[in-house]
Amino acid sequence: MKSGDPELRSELDAALQARKELGPEYEPALVESFLEKVDQRMDRTLDRHVRRHLAEQRVNVARYERHPRHLPGFAERHGFGVVSLVLAVPLSAIGASTARTGGLIVAWLGIVAVNAVHALRNRPGAARRAESDWED
């Protein structure tokens, strides 16, 4: 318990005073009553923190939709594709030399698949959906 919480401090003082007046036989009931009040206080505090966190997340999502924090530049948008095309040359050579046309086709299918997954993962709306999934 925080020493700066006057409500709980006064509840504890009242419970201790009641114990002195009523005697030890009422102690279990007094302790249970005090713990129930502490539990209610914790529930209210937790509820307030959860509501504040959800509100902050909603504000952040709304802010992102209106003003994206980061607009990717040319290098970020096309860098992966350029690198994969540069690597496509040796991959094509290796595929064609070891398995002829079939190896070349497999190499290019792999290059296309990797680029497709990268493009789908980096869509503008994909990040917002991932951030807000836990709210549902």
pLDDT at 135 over 60: no
**Per the structure, how many domains does the chain have?**
2
Residue 33 C-beta-side C-alpha neighbours within 13 Å: 13
Is 1 in the same domain as 65? yes
Is residue 3 classed as helix, strand or coil in its secondary structure?
Answer: coil
pLDDT band at 58 (very low <50, low <70, confident <90, very high): confident
Is 49 in the same domain as 89? no
Is 105 in the same domain as 132? yes
Is 4 in the same domain as 18? yes
Boundary-marking domain end, from 39, 69, 99: 69
Boundary-marking domain end, from 29, 49, 69: 69
Boundary-marking domain end, from 37, 69, 101: 69
Query: How does pLDDT run across 77-108, given as a tens digit for each residue?
Result: 678 888 888 899 999 999 888 898 999 999 99
Name the pTM for this structure.
0.41
Is 88 in the same domain as 64? no
pLDDT at 69: 52
Amino acid (1-letter code) at residue 60: N
pLDDT at 78: 78
Distance CA 58, CA 48 (A): 15
Contact 96, 103 (CB under 8 A): yes
Is 83 in the same domain as 111? yes
Locate 76 and state its tokens.
Answer: 């970020």
pLDDT at 115 over 60: yes
Query: How does pLDDT run across 100-114, given as a tens digit for each residue?
Result: 899 999 999 999 999
* 81 vs 2, more confident: 81
Compute the chain's Rg from CA coordinates. 31
Task: Name the residue range of residue 19's domain.
Answer: 1-69
